[in-house]
Amino acid sequence: FLICVAIRANYPLYIRSVPTQGELKFHYTVHTSLDVVEEKISGVGKALADQRELYLGLLYPTEDYKVYGYVTNSKVKFVIVVDSSNTSLRDNEIRSMFRKLHNSFTDVMCNPFYNPGDPIQSKAFDSIVSTMMVQAC
């Protein structure tokens, strides 16, 4: 399983999961993980406001999934949920996936026709996520 979400102001701009069944469960998982993300941001923010590590690491492990988080400087959050049994994905891979997502998201934001706050419908973004999902699974 792998889910990618881009979140801004705590509502999702983009959410996609493979496989698609049981999507609601993932919604719950990601939604609750935002608590941790917020906590982490506020915690780190005090110490190092400028030079913050964007990658938040493992947000919390559940029995079945690992939830990773990433926050851009403009407080856009990315969350990736992977299957716990998937051992091929190490921290470094997740990190690079986030970086890719971030780059692609930046491209989306650069689109003058994109209205910030709207759901992302960019095909380019979609395809990046797709390739990542294929690689991961």
Partner 1 sequence: MSVPDYMQCAEDHQTVVVVVQPMGIVPEDQFFRIYKRIASVSQVSIRDSQRVLFIRFRHHYPPENNEWGDFQTHRKVVGLISVTSCTTAKEWPQTSDRFHGQKEVFGSTLYDSRLLVFGLQGEVAEQQRTDVAFYPSYDDCPDVEKRVEDFVESIFIVLESKRLDRATDKSGDKIQMLCVPFEKKDFVGLDTDSRHYKKRCQGRMRKHVGDLCLQAGMLQDALVHYHMAVELLRSVNDFLWLGAALEGLCSASVIFHYPGGTAGKSGARKPSVSSAADAGKRHRPGALTSSGISADTSAEIGRAKNCLSQEDIIEKYKEAISYYGKYKSAGVIELEACIKAVRVLAIQKRAMEASEFLQNAVYINLGQLSEEEKIQRYSVLSELYELIGFQRKSAFFKRVAAMQCVAPTIPEPGWKACYKLLLETLPGYSLSLDPKDFSKGTHRGWAAVQLRLLHELVYASRRMGNPGLSVRHLSFLLQTMLDFLSDQEKKEVTQSLENYTSKCPGGMEVISLPDGLKLSPVPFTKLPIVRSVSLLNLPVSLRPHKVKGLLGQGLSSASPFIYSPITMHSRGDERSKKIDFQWVQGDVCEVQLMVYNPMPFELRVENMGLLTSGVDFESLPAALSLPAESGLYPVTLVGVPRTAGNITINGYHTSVFGVSSDCLLEGLVGVKSSGCMVEVVPSLPRLQLCTSLPRFTHFSSSEYKINLSTSVSLQLFNGETQQLTITLENIGTETLNTLELTSKTLSTKEKLFGEFLTWDLQDALSHLPLKSGQSVSIPVNISAKLDFSGQESLLNDLNDDGISVTGLPVSSPLRQVLKPRTENKPVGSDASKNEFNHVKTLEAVLTFKYSGGAGQVEGYYRELSLGVRVDVEPSVFFTRVSTLPATSTRQCHLLLDVFNSTEHELTLSAKNNQDLVLHASECQRMAIQVDKLDFDSMPVTDHDALRQATVRQQEEKRQQVQGGLINSTLDIHWTIISFTERHGEASVEGVLNQLILEHLQLAPLQWDVVVNGKPCDCDVIADCRVGDAVPLEVKLTNRSKSAVGPFSLTIVPFQDYQNGVQNYDLQDAVTFIGSNTFYIGTVNPTENSVCVGALLFLYTGDFYLNIKFQDDSTARDLPPAWFCLPSVHIKAQEPVEL
Closest distance between partner 1 and the C-beta of residue 88, in Å? 25
Q: Return the residue of 60, 95, 109, 126 that touches partner 1, per CB under 8 A.
A: 60
Are 70 and 56 in contact by the 8 Å Cβ rule? The answer is yes
Kindly state whether residue 103 participates in binding partner 1, applying the rule CB under 8 A: no
Q: Which is nearer to partner 1, 23 or 91 (CB)?
A: 23
Q: Segment near partner 1 (CB under 8 A), from 9-17, 48-56, 70-78, 125-133? A: 9-17
SS (H, E, C) 47-101: HCCCCCCCEEEEEEECCCEEEEEEECCCCEEEEEEEECCCCCCCHHHHHHHHHHH
Give CA–CA dist 128/27, Å, rounded. Answer: 21
Q: Return the residue of 24, 48, 49, 110 that touches partner 1, per CB under 8 A.
A: 24
Taking the chain, what is the end-to-end CA distance rounded to the nearest angstrom?
Answer: 7
Per DSSP, 18 falls in state E
Looking at residues 118 to 137 of the shown chain, list those that interact with partner 1 (rule: CB under 8 A). Answer: 118
Q: Return the residue of 18, 36, 41, 54 that touches partner 1, per CB under 8 A.
A: 36
SS3 114: coil
Q: Return the residue of 2, 12, 76, 94 that touches partner 1, per CB under 8 A.
A: 12
Q: What is the contact surface with partner 1 in residues (CB under 8 A)? A: 9-12, 23-24, 27-28, 31-32, 34-36, 39-40, 43, 60, 117-118
